[in-house]
């Protein structure tokens, strides 16, 4: 058992850390206050190969492994949650979904430009009336000859107003005996007639991120844009979530670390009753809990990433990492605000942004309650992982880096 990082993994972590600290940290308050995405940072991430970090070189990516993906997400969220959200949606949910389920033609058409960062991608599953209850989605895809006609509304879609390509889930057989078998997946392009998008305003957190809605009105999508077979949409959606949840967990780990670092620095700076507040035991208790939870969250993420590298199913492990890390990050951010006192309640310090951003991760890509039920299902042997037609390939340097 070896917990050390490879030279490539360490190099990746350092590269993303330097990028986040030098290019993002100085401007994040400005973008957060103005509620607008940092598109310049997205362009720089594309230049550095971060957006396609774990995609093989032959498909436009950087050829790194899944641990590198997790490390990149940790370093990004340590500074700015919104850029980690981009990694979750563009890389985890969409690009890895294409890599896992797409035909060679589909990979060349969409994955290559996305991995290069030439086109941004989103994942459109959630609807106004369907979130955790995926089979309740109302969007439909009716086949007419060589095209499917898509109609429906998607809500709370990250990068909705920025992305060029959308992985959209819709019902092709609303009357299927088992509802989840009536869902199919499609690659939809912004340029298609009938596609409109907009932003959602007034969010509590991730204000520097693009979050919005997508409307599909008689959108004609060619049959060759269907990902997988008709009726495989639910499997595709869930397998994509295994990848997205991994990035969320890794990002939340970075937010725990950010809260810890900020709290330690302030505890040494602030003095009360004639001494540093770092000497007060209740302050020490909160900081000790952050240090504990950071180590636990990081180990859970590394285990999930290791399983991905081995090509092993990791639904249970990724769910556990996401559940623990996101809940722990919210607690860490809340304690960080408490340690900072009145200043923590102001955006003069970063910890108030950490707290607002941390709450979102306890909701998206499976609420904490959904993950609690998933873990109970595994523990009680009520739940088993059914085999997929396509598993995420194990990491092979000889293949990935050529």
Across the range 112-126, mean pLDDT stands at 98
Give the pLDDT score at 195: 98
Give the pLDDT score at 261: 98
Sign of CA dihedral 394, 299, 247, 55: negative
Q: What is the rounded distance in angstroms from the CA atom of residue 69 to the CA atom of residue 88?
A: 10
| Residue 177 pLDDT level (bands cut at 50, 70, 90) | low
Q: What is the rounded distance in angstroms from the CA atom of residue 68 to the CA atom of residue 141?
A: 37
Give the pLDDT score at 86: 97
Give the pLDDT score at 176: 82
> What tens digit of pLDDT does each residue of 333-351 get?
999 999 999 999 999 999 9
Give the pLDDT score at 209: 96
> What tens digit of pLDDT does each residue of 22-41 get?
999 999 999 999 999 999 99
Whether the Cβ atoms of residue 123 and residue 240 lie closer than 8 Å to each other: yes
Q: Which helix (H) or strand (E) holds 140?
A: strand 140-144
Across the range 106-128, mean pLDDT stands at 98
Map residue 187 onto helix, strand or coil.
strand
Sign of CA dihedral 183, 99, 70, 163: negative
| Residue 60 pLDDT level (bands cut at 50, 70, 90) | very high
Domains, in order of start, for the chain: 7-120 (1.10.540.10), 123-232 (2.40.110.10), 235-400 (1.20.140.10)
Map residue 150 onto helix, strand or coil.
strand
Across the range 129-150, mean pLDDT stands at 95
pTM exceeds 0.85, yes or no = yes
Which positions are catalytic? 365
Give the pLDDT score at 387: 84
Closest CA to 265 of 212, 206, 344, 189: 344
Q: What is the rounded distance in angstroms from the CA atom of residue 353 to the CA atom of residue 207?
A: 9
Sign of CA dihedral 202, 205, 211, 213: negative
Closest CA to 336 of 357, 315, 306: 357
> What tens digit of pLDDT does each residue of 240-293 get?
999 999 999 999 999 999 999 999 999 999 999 999 999 999 999 999 999 999
| Residue 63 pLDDT level (bands cut at 50, 70, 90) | very high
Alpha carbon distances (Å) from 247 to 130, 242, 293, 357:
22, 9, 17, 15
Burial per residue of 97-131, b for 16 or more beta-carbon CB atoms within 10 angstroms, e otherwise: bbbbbbeeebbebbbbbbbbbebbbbbbbbbeebb
* DSSP alpha helix (H) spans, 20-122: 28-34, 39-48, 66-79, 81-86, 96-101, 104-106, 112-116
> What tens digit of pLDDT does each residue of 179-226 get?
788 999 999 999 999 999 999 999 999 999 999 999 999 999 999 999
């Amino acid at each position: 058992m070896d917990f050390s990082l490879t030279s490539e993994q360490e190099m990746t972590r350092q590269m993303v850390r330097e990028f986040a600290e030098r290019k993002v940290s100085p401007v994040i308050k400005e973008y957060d206050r103005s509620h607008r995405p940092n598109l310049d940072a997205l362009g720089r991430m594309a230049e550095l190969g971060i957006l396609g970090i774990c995609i093989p070189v032959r498909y436009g990516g950087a050829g790194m492994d899944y641990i590198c993906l997790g490390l990149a997400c940790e370093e990004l969220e340590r500074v700015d949650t919104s850029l980690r959200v981009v990694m979750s949606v563009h890389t985890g949910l969409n690009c890895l979904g294409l890599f896992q389920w797409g035909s060679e033609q589909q990979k060349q058409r969409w994955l290559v430009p996305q991995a290069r960062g030439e086109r941004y991608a989103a994942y459109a599953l959630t609807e106004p009336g369907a979130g955790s209850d995926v089979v309740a989605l109302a969007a439909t895809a009716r086949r007419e000859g060589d095209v499917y006609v898509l109609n429906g509304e998607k809500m709370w879609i990250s990068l909705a107003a920025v992305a060029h390509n959308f992985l959209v889930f819709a019902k092709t057989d609303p009357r299927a005996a088992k509802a989840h078998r009536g869902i199919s997946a499609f690659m939809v392009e912004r340029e298609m007639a009938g596609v409109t998008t907009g932003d959602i305003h007034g969010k509590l957190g991730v204000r520097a991120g693009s979050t919005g809605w997508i409307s599909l009105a008689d959108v004609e999508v060619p049959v060759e844009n269907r990902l997988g077979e008709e009726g495989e949409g639910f499997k595709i959606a869930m397998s994509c979530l295994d990848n997205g949840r991994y990035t969320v967990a890794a990002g939340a780990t970075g937010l725990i670390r950010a809260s810890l670092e900020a709290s330690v620095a302030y505890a040494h700076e602030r003095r009360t009753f004639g001494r540093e507040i770092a000497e007060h035991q209740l302050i020490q208790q909160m900081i000790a809990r952050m240090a504990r939870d950071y180590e636990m969250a990081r180990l859970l993420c590394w285990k999930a990433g290791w399983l991905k590298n081995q090509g092993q199913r990791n639904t249970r492990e990724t769910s556990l990492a996401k559940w623990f890390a996101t809940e722990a990050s919210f607690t860490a951010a809340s304690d960080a605000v408490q340690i900072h006192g009145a200043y923590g309640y102001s955006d003069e310090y970063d910890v108030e942004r950490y707290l607002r951003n941390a709450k979102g991760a306890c909701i998206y890509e499976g609420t904490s309650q959904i993950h609690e039920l998933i873990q109970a299902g595994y523990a009680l042997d009520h739940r088993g992982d059914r085999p997929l037609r396509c598993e995420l390939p194990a990491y092979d340097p000889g293949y990935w880096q050529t």
